[in-house]
A = this chain, B = another copy of it.
């Protein structure tokens, strides 16, 4: 695992790692090739020697982080007969693990997150190779959960609702922390706690688990016919 501590011996690899971290932390334009080269322990000219220019280095570093992430987090592989609800919980849990990165330094995710929030050329490739397949798995689980009784567009919206709930904790995690009383924040930001909530919330909405509360039935009609 040639990361933070024992860097790779290959200069090209060292530059890619340092660039990934720098781009993730500061963004494309604020990150300087001088800082990247200093962090990588190479001369300033090296980035132009190996990559041509800063822009090409950026593209390569995004791809690099993307591939590394794909390698270390393989698609989930469920035994046949696994309940769909369990699959959903697994999916949400592993997605949050990847996003909030309990194990590994989160700069790779942070770098990709920048692409999602403000897409450049590297984004489309990222979506096709990384996002869409994962999203497809989620849609499969949801189809299984709803008994294929919903049109594809509805299932897609369900999927986006799930992604959105998780996404907030990663993208706006600092603000979430400000909205939560200090004492509870530790219990809040764990991938497990969030995954439990999101799964329960979603299953309840689909009708596979008990709803959160059932005060008095009848308020429903007020929304069903708003006008």
Could you list which residues of chain A lie within 8 angstroms of chain B, going by C-beta atoms?
Answer: 27, 29-30, 83-86, 89, 116-117, 119, 123-124, 127, 131-132, 135, 145-147, 149-150, 153-154, 156-158, 160-161, 163-169, 171-172, 174-176, 178-180, 184, 188, 197-199, 201-217, 219-220, 222-224, 226
Give Cα A223–Cα B206 distance, bound, in whole angstroms: 14
Contact in complex: B216, A205 (CB < 8 Å): no
Contact in complex: B220, A210 (CB < 8 Å): yes
Contact in complex: B131, A215 (CB < 8 Å): no
**Using Cβ atoms and an 8 Å threshold, which residues of chain B touch A172?**
116-117, 167, 171
Give Cα A22–Cα B124 distance, bound, in whole angstroms: 25
Give Cα A223–Cα B92 distance, bound, in whole angstroms: 13
**Using Cβ atoms and an 8 Å threshold, which residues of chain B touch A116?**
171-172, 174-175
Give Cα A131–Cα B174 distance, bound, in whole angstroms: 13
Q: Which 3 A-B pairs have the closest CB atoms?
A: A207-B211, A147-B215, A164-B168
Contact in complex: A85, B149 (CB < 8 Å): no
**Using Cβ atoms and an 8 Å threshold, which residues of chain B touch A167?**
164, 167-168, 171-172
